[in-house]
């Protein structure tokens, strides 16, 4: 049986040296040796003896740490369980670790990456935001919080190495993307396809978290990322915190993109072993608490769940002083927000704005039906959809084309820059956001923050956001109710003015306030016993 000591003494000098270095890192992390470098020969044998002694009790957390550090790849739950069983059955830890390296194919790899163990401090996992300029509502939350959290001296923004094998620090460019506004290429916002994510760069060092704090503000559902996060939550003796957006992939699975419900279940499996979940609204907190109640049948306590409501004000940015230019659009040139004027709707009629991705849950088909009811009655207004990241939206775009063919004033702009969105809000007679289910509903509070009345759903988080006024509430499943509400706002100047006054009086919660509250809850440095 090949042992870890055999591998450290082997003929492959680069491999032997790397294993000795990793063994030193491991022993220093668990406090078995004083900081410093072990050499080869007798020191390698001493290191193996120390590892055998440390792992002799078959503690799952120490097994996870050893497997992760020695292989430079965060160990999954199955590997930890196999190692624990083998040690408890009498196999020496050094043999178990050597077997793991062999079975995983790591010994045949040329990628002998350096390993660093993160002890103390707060790691903030912003992998998706650091690689993809996509500007969804979730990514707005991630970027607004990451920008502020990065100012804390104990915070380190991190992403993932290729294949979600381990955490890594970010490059300067990735940090800029994760903490800033997503860049928009020339005319990129007029397409219906999000920008492709750049591949994660090769990392020179794998970061293994150990007795630190890990905060995940993203919806981490990609590939094996939730499995790796779940193993960290279970074994790394970290305080782990997640931002909880909603449980839509479970409660409305029929509207989700293909594969999302299964991926989301793996994400919840990671959350089950987390320390805390900061839900973005009272509605989202209720959903996560209902899910947590199902964990008792498995003997799992689940995370502490608290509502930390999102900001209700706009991000701190230079806002346009006015809305879109009045009158018909010019034939050429650039208009508001740097947008090609040819892509802007004519503004000689009231504008009704709908912000959100083109997916079934956003209920855009009901808005089109409501608009057509009004157009048939002779109402004159322009309907503008601002959004992107479309899935299962084929019928929506077909219907838009049908209405355009009939001469209806309906436009769709994908991934518009924020300045353009704010301009449209200010120009609009009202905005419409009648989603069937939301964890929060940023388009409602953003419209209100700019003083624009909102027609929104009478249920859940959307109704909560409307409680201070400035909104008309409707049944989102009834196009006639939606049409009636739009007609009231367009026709009744006194109602429109009253709603605008109410919107202006809605209490504002800044992104600074949200980021501070979320940090205070999620980045609590109290570690599990």
Q: Which domains does the chain have, with CATH numbers?
A: 4-112 (no CATH), 117-311+514-522 (3.40.50), 336-507 (3.40.50.2000)
CB–CB of 462/435 below 8 Å? Answer: yes
Entry pTM: 0.88
Q: What are 414's two structure tokens?
A: 């994908």
The Cα–Cα gap between 402 and 412 comes to 13
Q: What pLDDT score does 205 carry? A: 84
Confidence of residue 526 (pLDDT cuts 50, 70, 90): low
Which whole number is the average pLDDT over 50-55? 92
User: Which bin fits 440, alpha (ψ -120 to 50), beta or left (φ > 0)?
Assistant: alpha
Q: What pLDDT score does 322 carry? A: 45
Confidence of residue 12 (pLDDT cuts 50, 70, 90): low
Confidence of residue 308 (pLDDT cuts 50, 70, 90): very high
Closest-CA residue to 173 (of 114, 221, 233, 133): 133
Helix (H) or strand (E) holding 239: strand 239-244
Helix (H) or strand (E) holding 209: strand 205-209
List, edge to edge, every strand of the sheet that includes 304-307. 114-118, 205-209, 167-169, 155-160, 122-125, 213-216, 239-244, 276-279, 304-307
The Cα–Cα gap between 353 and 320 comes to 17
Contacts of 91 (CB under 8 A, 6+ apart): none
Place of tokens 């991934």: 415
Confidence of residue 224 (pLDDT cuts 50, 70, 90): very high
pLDDT in tens, 397-429: 999 999 999 999 999 998 888 889 999 999 999
* Dihedral pair phi/psi, residue 63, rounded to 5°: -65, -45
Confidence of residue 46 (pLDDT cuts 50, 70, 90): confident
Confidence of residue 193 (pLDDT cuts 50, 70, 90): very low
The Cα–Cα gap between 303 and 289 comes to 9
CB–CB of 43/20 below 8 Å? Answer: yes
Q: What pLDDT score does 342 carry? A: 42
The Cα–Cα gap between 219 and 434 comes to 23
Say if residue 379's pLDDT is above 50. Answer: yes
The Cα–Cα gap between 242 and 229 comes to 10
Mean of pLDDT over the chain: 86
Q: What pLDDT score does 175 carry? A: 95
Lowest mean pLDDT among 103-112, 270-279, 322-331, 450-459: 322-331
CB–CB of 509/309 below 8 Å? Answer: yes
The Cα–Cα gap between 33 and 500 comes to 67
């Amino acid at each position: 049986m090949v042992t870890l000591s055999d591998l450290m003494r082997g003929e492959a000098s680069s491999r032997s040296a790397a294993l000795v270095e990793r063994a030193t890192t491991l022993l220093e992390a668990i406090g078995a040796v004083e900081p410093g470098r072990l050499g080869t020969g007798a020191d390698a044998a001493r290191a193996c003896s120390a590892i055998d002694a440390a792992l002799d009790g078959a503690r799952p957390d120490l097994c996870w740490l050893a497997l992760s550090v020695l292989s430079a790849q965060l160990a999954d739950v199955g590997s930890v369980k196999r190692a624990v069983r083998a040690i408890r059955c009498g196999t020496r830890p050094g043999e178990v670790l050597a077997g793991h390296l062999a079975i995983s194919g790591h010994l045949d790899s040329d990628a002998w990456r350096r390993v660093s163990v993160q002890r103390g401090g707060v790691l903030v996992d912003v992998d998706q935001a650091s690689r993809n300029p996509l500007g969804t509502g979730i990514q707005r939350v991630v970027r607004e919080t990451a920008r502020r959290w990065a100012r804390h001296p104990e915070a380190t923004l991190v992403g993932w190495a290729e294949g979600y094998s381990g955490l890594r620090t970010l490059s300067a460019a990735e940090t800029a993307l994760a903490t800033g506004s997503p860049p928009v290429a020339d005319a990129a916002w007029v397409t219906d396809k999000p920008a492709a994510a750049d591949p994660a760069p090769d990392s020179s060092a794998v970061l293994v978290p150990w007795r630190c704090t890990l905060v995940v503000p993203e919806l981490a559902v990609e590939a094996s990322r939730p499995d790796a996060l779940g193993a960290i939550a279970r074994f790394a003796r970290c305080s782990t915190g997640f931002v909880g957006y909603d449980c839509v992939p479970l409660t409305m699975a029929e509207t989700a993109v293909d594969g999302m419900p299964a991926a989301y279940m793996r994400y919840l499996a990671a959350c089950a072993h987390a320390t805390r979940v900061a839900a973005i609204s009272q509605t989202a907190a209720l959903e996560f608490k209902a899910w947590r109640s199902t964990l008792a049948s498995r003997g799992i306590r689940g995370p502490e769940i608290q509502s930390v409501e999102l900001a209700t004000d706009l991000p701190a940015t230079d806002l346009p002083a006015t809305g879109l230019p009045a009158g018909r659009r010019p034939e050429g040139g650039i208009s508001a927000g740097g947008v090609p004027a040819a892509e802007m709707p004519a503004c000689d009629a009231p504008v009704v704005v709908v912000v959100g991705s083109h997916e079934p849950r956003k209920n855009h088909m009901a808005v089109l039906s409501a608009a057509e009811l009004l157009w048939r009655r002779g109402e004159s207004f322009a309907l503008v959809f601002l959004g992107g990241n479309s899935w299962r939206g084929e019928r929506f775009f077909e219907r838009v084309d049908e209405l355009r063919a009939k001469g209806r004033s309906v436009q769709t702009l994908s991934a518009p820059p924020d300045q353009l969105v704010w301009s449209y809000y200010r120009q609009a007679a009202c905005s419409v956001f009648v989603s069937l289910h939301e964890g929060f509903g940023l388009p409602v509070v953003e419209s209100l923050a700019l003083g624009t009345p909102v027609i929104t759903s009478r249920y859940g988080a959307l109704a909560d956001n409307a409680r201070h006024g400035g909104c008309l509430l409707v049944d989102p499943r009834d196009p006639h109710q939606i049409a009636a509400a739009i007609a009231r706002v367009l026709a009744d100047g006194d109602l429109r003015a009253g709603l605008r006054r109410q919107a202006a009086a809605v209490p504002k919660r800044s992104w600074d306030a949200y980021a501070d509250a979320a940090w205070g809850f999620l980045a609590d440095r109290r570690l599990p016993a």
